[in-house]
Amino acid sequence: MSRFGVQGSLRAWDRFDAILALTALALVGYGLVLIYSGSLGSYDGPTASIENPVVRQGLFAFIAVGAMFIISRLDYHVLLHYAWWLYGASILLLLVLIPIGQTEFGSTRWFDLGPIQFQPSEFAKIATILLLARFLSEQGGDARDLRVLGGSLAITAPVLLLVFIQPDLGTTIIFAAIWLGMVVVAGIHRRHLLFLGAIFIAILPFAWTFTVADYQIERISVLLDAEEDPLDAGYNPIQSQIAVGSGQLLGKGLTNGEQTQLDFLKVKTKDFIFSVLGEELGFVGAMALFALFILLLMRGIRAAQIAGDIPGQLIAAGIVITILMQAYINIAVNLSIFPVTGLPLPFVSQGGSSLVTLFLGLGIIQSIVMRHRAYRQF
């Protein structure tokens, strides 16, 4: 490598957003502590085993952080160049998932690969963000034209529908939020947005009648009165309310929560990990978590603001929206103000596919930050 190339590479690493990376690692560390507490009652094997949820999540975190550094070293325009291929591979995986995927809790979301489970919808998020960014930027980054708006919707609709029929309502909402957020950043006209909103409201009764699964209807209905089915659909909402409410200001102390340790709270290292936090670390622990998420999202927004070109701005916005919406929905589920969806809490919940995908997204943001001056448009 020439002297100029070495200097250029070093200057790029000088712009690496250490605050963003350290904040994400702090969230992972927070999650490992909660996974440890949440798995005490369900895992009694050797500490150093790969089956230990903490060890397993730590290994995925190691892989994910490595992936972040590798991706940050790549120019994000290389990923944009292959956006159609990545998107096509995501569509293919989601199609193959339908006949051979693993079904749990009434939903087919994973490939069972022996020691690990692979959830293709997680990686489809990144592929969809990249393709939308490429398409919108090729159209001048302006979504006010109806043809551009329709094209962006045509990109999002197939992956959204394939996730919806799994069925996975939570991830479906994430894809809708990604599309909406990115076209808003690209300047969608207000009247077009209102028109699409009106169409959505008009078709909602038909979607509710013909496409929403019975168990999803039960999950929505228990939001109004969980006590109507306290041993089935209402069980998790009731237990999460008890757990979060009993934590009060400071919590009962790590590993001391009755709902968590006596196994009343289910899926406590994944979907309901925030309830573990609420019970054992209380309001103060929740505020610490919120502070970390706010800082992470602010660094992501900063990346979108300083991005040197339209694709960088749109990609950063799409990744920020993904993290924000996923965190919001997971916490809303734990507070019983949103139906149970199965979405993990970003960086915190146990889950390899989610964690690796999130750090891949952060790696792309780092690539944008490190190269924003090279693509600055004057």
> Cα-flanking dihedrals φ and ψ of residue 110, to 5°?
-125, 150
Residue 167: which region, alpha, beta or left (left: phi > 0; alpha: psi -120 to 50)?
Answer: beta
SS3 call for 221: helix
Distance CA 361, CA 359 (A): 5
**Model confidence pLDDT, tens digit, residues 217-270:** 666 666 666 666 666 667 888 889 999 999 999 999 999 988 988 888 888 899
Average pLDDT over the chain reads 87
How sure is the predictor about 378, in pLDDT bands with cuts at 50, 70 and 90? very low
* Cα separation, 196 vs 206, whole angstroms: 16
Residue 337, number of CB atoms within 10 A of its CB? 10
3-state secondary structure of 368: helix
**Helix, strand, or coil (residue 112):** strand
- 252 Cβ neighbours under 8 A, 6+ residues apart: 246, 258, 279, 280, 282
For residue 109, give the nearest of 151, 162, 187 by alpha carbon.
162
Tokens of 102: 């693993």
Selection from 168, 169, 87, 102 nearest residue 134 by Cα: 87
8 A C-beta contact, residue 366 and residue 68: yes
By the 8 A CB rule, do 177 and 325 touch? yes
Rounded distance between C-alpha atoms, residue 369 and residue 355, angstroms: 21
Does residue 6 carry a pLDDT above 70?
A: no
Q: What is the pLDDT of residue 229?
A: 66
Give tens-digit pLDDT for 332-363. 999 988 888 888 999 999 988 999 999 999 99
Domain residues of the chain, as ranges? 14-370
pLDDT above 60 (res 2): no
DSSP 226: G
Residue from 245, 358, 337, 339 nearest 293 by CA: 358
Kindly tell me the sign of the dihedral angle through the C-alpha atoms of 222, 224, 226, 228. negative
Selected residue with higher pLDDT from 296 and 114? 296
pLDDT category at 175 given cuts 50, 70, 90 is very high
Q: Are 167 and 107 in contact (CB under 8 A)?
A: yes
Kindly give the interhelix angle for 273-306 and 18-39, rounded to the nearest 10 degrees.
170
At 232 the pLDDT is 66
DSSP state at residue 108: E
Q: What is the pLDDT of residue 5?
A: 42
pTM, entire model: 0.90
Four-residue CA torsion sign, 145, 314, 122, 90: positive
